């Protein structure tokens, strides 16, 4: 029981940054923009979050700084890929490279320093329920934010007019423009939101997951988040399921190694990506489902005519 609880708690902790970053990227991609720079925004969020919390002693300032660092990177991406209409794939990749380099540079003097954890938010009564209590109700703020975020995104995308407009922009930006929708404004806001989420996910890594700063501490989680969005075929609730599945795989991998189960760790590490490919193959079998869920103008630049 104790061990099971410990394992589940680590899975939740491992899944939360994936969920945060993937939910943000889902909104970005629903608007028709493919930002491959999630890893870069995340690592900047990690270093920014760590530094702000370390220097001020306030973990909540760290969370805020993570969000702002992620948004800063997203703004750069937006300026290049939206205002200047550069190739989104190349720009996203460049953003990741810049982010990793810049974060290493900024964080260099602080490598190895102990970070500041945000307090767990105990809810009196609920937190005391055996097993479920500590798992669901005695957690750090990131956990609650991530769940609220998914609920919020579902509500926004499928139950509000701006959410509908965002999906329309992602489906066909020419049509949207013809109807007088401000395509670039929607995309900027979506990209900034995605940056905020990725930054927050990064801050979770340097404040909760391993409360310290070390180089490349995102370790490819940004890429997993990107894969997750496809895995979930652009549906937020499936992102939730997928994030916990991928989280479980990454933790299970560690335990499998500890128990000496003879599966190469590389195979397990590759599992999320393999799963994404399988899902892509499955959903591409059904053209109709693909059409309905895939943002049709994903990755295409939009230049309004005079």
Partner 1 sequence: MTPTGPDMLLSLRGLSKSFGTFKANDAVDLDIRPGEIHALLGENGAGKSTFVKMLYGALQPDAGEIAWRGTPVAIPSPAHARQLGIGMVFQHFSLFEALTVAENVAVALPGDIPLRKIASDLEQVSRAYGLPLRANARVYDLSVGQRQRIEIVRCLLQEPDLVIMDEPTSVLTPQECEDLFGVLRKLASEGKAILYISHKLEEVRALCERATILRHGKVVGSCIPRDETAGSIARMMVGADIHEVRHARAEIDRSAPLLSVNGLSLPPRDTFATALKRISFDLYPGEIAGIAGIAGNGQSELFDVLSGEETVARADTVSLLGEPVGTRDIAARRAMGAVFISEERLGHATVPTLALSENVFLTRHSVNPGLRRGQLLDRAAARRELDRITETMDVRKSAPDPAAQSLSGGNLQKFIVGREVLDAPKVIVVNQPTWGVDAGSAASIRQTLIDLAAGGAAVLVISQDLDELFEIADTLAAIAEGHLSPFVPASQTDRNAIGLKMSGVAGEEHRAS
User: Which spans of this chain sit near partner 1 (rule: CB under 8 A)?
Assistant: 160-161, 164-165, 167-168, 171-172, 174-176, 178-181, 288, 291-296, 305-306
In angstroms, rounded to a whole number, what is the distance separating the alpha carbons of residues 65 and 47?
9
CB of 287 to partner 1, least distance (A): 9
Dihedral angle, C-alpha 10, 15, 21, 23, nearest 10 °: -150
Residue 56 or 175: which CB sits closer to partner 1?
175
CB of 288 to partner 1, least distance (A): 7
Q: DSSP alpha helices (H): ranges in 57-127?
A: 59-78, 88-107
Q: 282: buried, middle or exposed (CB in 10 Å: 19+, 13-18, 0-12)?
A: exposed
DSSP code of 126? G
In angstroms, rounded to a whole number, what is the distance separating the alpha carbons of residues 26 and 197?
10
Residue 174 or 265: which CB sits closer to partner 1?
174
Residue 161 or 262: which CB sits closer to partner 1?
161
Residue 116 or 166: which CB sits closer to partner 1?
166
Beta bridge partners of 114: 212
- Percent helix, strand and coil across the chain, each rounded to 5? 75, 0, 25
Beta bridge partners of 212: 114
In angstroms, rounded to a whole number, what is the distance separating the alpha carbons of residues 301 and 11?
38
Residue 131 or 158: which CB sits closer to partner 1?
158
Residue 63 or 229: which CB sits closer to partner 1?
229
In angstroms, rounded to a whole number, what is the distance separating the alpha carbons of residues 288 and 71?
35
Single out the residue of 240, 199, 238 nearest to residue 218, CA to CA.
199
CA 216 to chain centre: 16
CB of 159 to partner 1, least distance (A): 9
CB of 209 to partner 1, least distance (A): 36
Residue 152 or 162: which CB sits closer to partner 1?
162
Residue 139 or 167: which CB sits closer to partner 1?
167
Single out the residue of 211, 306, 214, 225 nearest to residue 272, CA to CA.
225
CB of 213 to partner 1, least distance (A): 42
CB of 233 to partner 1, least distance (A): 12
Residue pair 153/236 in contact (Cβ under 8 Å)? The answer is: yes
CB of 32 to partner 1, least distance (A): 11
In angstroms, rounded to a whole number, what is the distance separating the alpha carbons of residues 52 and 63?
8
CB of 179 to partner 1, least distance (A): 5
């Amino acid at each position: 029981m104790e061990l099971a609880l410990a394992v589940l708690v680590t899975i939740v902790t491992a899944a939360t940054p994936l969920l945060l970053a993937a939910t943000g990227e889902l909104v970005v991609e629903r608007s028709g923009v493919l930002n491959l720079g999630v890893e870069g925004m995340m690592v900047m969020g990690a270093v920014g979050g760590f530094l702000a919390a370390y220097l001020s002693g306030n973990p909540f300032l760290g969370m805020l700084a993570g969000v702002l660092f992620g948004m800063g990177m997203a703004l750069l991406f937006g300026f290049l890929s939206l205002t200047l209409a550069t190739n989104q794939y190349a720009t996203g990749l460049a953003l990741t490279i810049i982010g990793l380099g810049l974060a290493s540079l900024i964080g260099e003097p602080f490598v190895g320093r102990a970070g500041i954890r945000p307090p767990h938010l105990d809810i009196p009564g609920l937190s005391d329920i055996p097993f479920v209590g500590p798992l669901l109700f005695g957690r750090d703020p990131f956990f609650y934010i991530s769940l609220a975020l998914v609920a919020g995104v579902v509500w926004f995308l499928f139950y509000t007019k701006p959410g509908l407009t965002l999906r329309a922009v992602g489906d066909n930006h020419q049509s949207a423009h013809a109807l007088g929708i401000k395509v670039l404004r929607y995309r900027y806001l979506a990209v900034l939101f995605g940056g905020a989420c990725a930054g927050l996910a990064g801050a979770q890594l340097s404040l909760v997951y391993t409360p310290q700063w070390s180089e490349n501490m995102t370790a490819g989680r940004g890429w997993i988040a990107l894969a997750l969005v496809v895995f979930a075929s652009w549906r937020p609730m499936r992102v939730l399921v997928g994030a916990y599945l991928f989280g479980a795989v990454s933790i299970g991998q560690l335990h499998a190694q500890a128990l000496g189960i003879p599966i190469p760790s590389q195979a397990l590490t590759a599992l999320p990506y393999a799963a994404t490919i399988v899902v892509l193959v499955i959903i591409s079998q059904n053209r109709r489902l693909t059409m309905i869920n895939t943002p049709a103008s994903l990755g295409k630049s939009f230049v309004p005519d005079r």
